[in-house]
Structure 1
């Protein structure tokens, strides 16, 4: 059997222990299935398994050979993992929550709150998926679809706030573009939750939907440039950040499609 990454003597001390099955001696009786706690922990140390030890439905990226949590079929075991909490000081909270824009209107606050809500939904769904992905095939597929939905929800929140700033003084154009992005996001979500479009076979199709929805945000930017000019848009809309975001979106989609860990 070829040597694996975790077999290197220079790094095994720093990696979590790999759970490797050992053959039973002649006449020995197999042990009873371990409880969820014993599957995930061994004397307080997380047990990780290799790519070859996980079910086929869990084998998403063949280039990542180690570091998988064993399938548990238990919600309790999925959440029985160490967590690290970072506490911020009271002064840090005050620094970010203090009133920075006293002239902001109720609409400004509502749009900003909506964006934060979509970010919380996206990260919450992503966290839940990566926690429950080892439960079972059905649970993993369900939360994977919801993870994709969360990304689209965050994209929607990003565009709603961006369009609000681009057409701050053009309420009609603002509503038109809001309607377009909401419709496009709903169509993308319906595609993502449809079981027909799941699995590696439809990976590129799903990525194209993500990229298409993301790149649609350039339409209001181009329209804004035609109205206000490039220089004004650079200041008014935060366009450099959206251009950077679009570039990172394309890069991430390429890495995901090409299976580059």
Structure 2
């Protein structure tokens, strides 16, 4: 009996070793068949950053490209930075829709301690009557007010949808662009479309809620940024503008869309100068702008890999830093959008 048990154990052990060896052989074959290559070995259409020297994927089948999300190469963190951002914004969208305040308000919890402009406790309602902003009004631990209708909340969700589209399209682009030249071009163009849509949709919450009492300005500013965005998309769909040569040109287009916001921002400051929430929203929106500018600077300059080619191939190169600042900027704008929506819901205007 004892001998039979030992035989069974030995047999199981042999089977286990056999399966393990088979798995190792498969992985070895995959690595040998689809190795990571150097910049010099890349096809011309993939040569974008000469300061990243190694760990490239090229001409990989879709299946291998998909599973490379779990392995290390020079696009791994580019994929995961925006994939995590996409998941985070998806959670925030669900949290707001389902009224889960602990998640929905995580970006606005500090608001009660933030210095506001003028008398932080006084506001004017739609009838001109003085209304005291109690701690309950300033505290952002409540999800979207039950009194907010679909008409009042849709710009907020438009922004969330735009952010998720941008982050997801970016992750997909970095994961599968190693498949072929045709797919690479298509995914890169979709990535640029996603960025443009995110910029457009970022305008919807502030323009809608700030100028809710002046609907004609809503139309002017939202129409303006949409037209500018459509022109940007049409321009970037030309294949020539997807090449590394036009990197600065692409950034310039996106920055010009962002700079369009200067005009409604000045207008909003003039109109709402005495608003007690002015400093808070300015802080959030300034943080967003700063994150985007810093990220774009890294994207164009290719720092730090430019200083030490090869050292930042896997971790710490400019595109990864750019991705991180994009997520931070989007989160800052989310905080501002929450404040715009909550404040307008509590203090409407006669035109609502």
Answering whether residue 228 of structure 2 is matched by residue 241 of structure 1, we say no
Determine if contact 1:78/1:132 at 8 Å carries over to the other structure.
Answer: yes
Larger relative contact order (C-alpha < 8 A, sep ≥ 6)?
Answer: 2
Question: Relative to 1, partners in 2 of residues 1:49 and 1:40: Cα closer, same or farther, differing over 3 Å?
Answer: farther
Distance in 1, matches of 2:199 and 2:241, equals 20
* Alpha-carbon distance between aligned partners in 2 of 1:39 and 1:154, rounded to the nearest angstrom: 41
Are 2:246 and 1:202 equivalent residues in the alignment?
yes
Q: Secondary structure at the match of 1:223?
A: helix
Q: How does 1:115-194 map to 2 (within 5 A)?
A: 115-194=159-238
Match of 1:257 in 2: 300
Q: 2:47 aligns with which of 59, 73, 77?
A: 59
CA distance in 1, matches of 2:192, 2:149: 33
Partner SS state of residue 80, structure 1: helix
Instruction: Give the superposition deviation at 1:235.
Output: 5.2
Shift of 1:230: 6.6
Tell me the CA shift for residue 47 of structure 1: 4.8
Deviations 1:174-219 (A, max 9, x none): 1111110111110111111112323122222111101101111121
How far apart are 1:162 and its partner, in Å? 1.7
Secondary structure of the residue that 1:81 maps to in structure 2? helix
Which consecutive residues of structure 2, in runs of 5 or more, have no partner in the other structure?
A: 1-25, 71-79, 105-141, 304-317, 319-352
CA contact (8 A) 1:156 1:182 kept: yes
Aligned length: 219
What is the aligned partner in structure 2 of residue 49 from structure 1? 37
Q: Which has the higher helix share?
A: 2
Aligned to 1:96: 103
TM-score (norm 2): 0.55
Equivalent position to 1:68, from 47, 56, 70: 56
Question: Which of these residues, 64, 70, 73, is aligned with residue 77 of structure 1?
Answer: 64
Question: Contact 1:122 / 1:150 at 8 angstroms: preserved in 2?
Answer: yes
1:12-51, Cα deviation, whole Å (9 max, x unpaired): xxxxxxxxxxxxxxxxxxxxxxxxx8799449xx953332
Q: Tell me the distance in 2 between the aligned counterparts of 1:39 and 1:62.
A: 28
Q: Report the alpha carbon displacement of residue 104 of structure 1 after superposing the two structures with TM.
A: 1.9
> Highest CA radius of gyration, 1 or 2?
2
What RMSD in Å do the two structures reach over aligned CA positions? 3.1
TM-score of the pair, normalised by structure 1: 0.73
CA contact under 8 A between 2:248 and 2:300: conserved in structure 1? Answer: yes
Q: Decide whether the 8 Å contact of 2:272 with 2:278 is kept in 1.
A: no
Query: What are structure 1's unaligned runs of at least 5 residues?
Result: 1-36
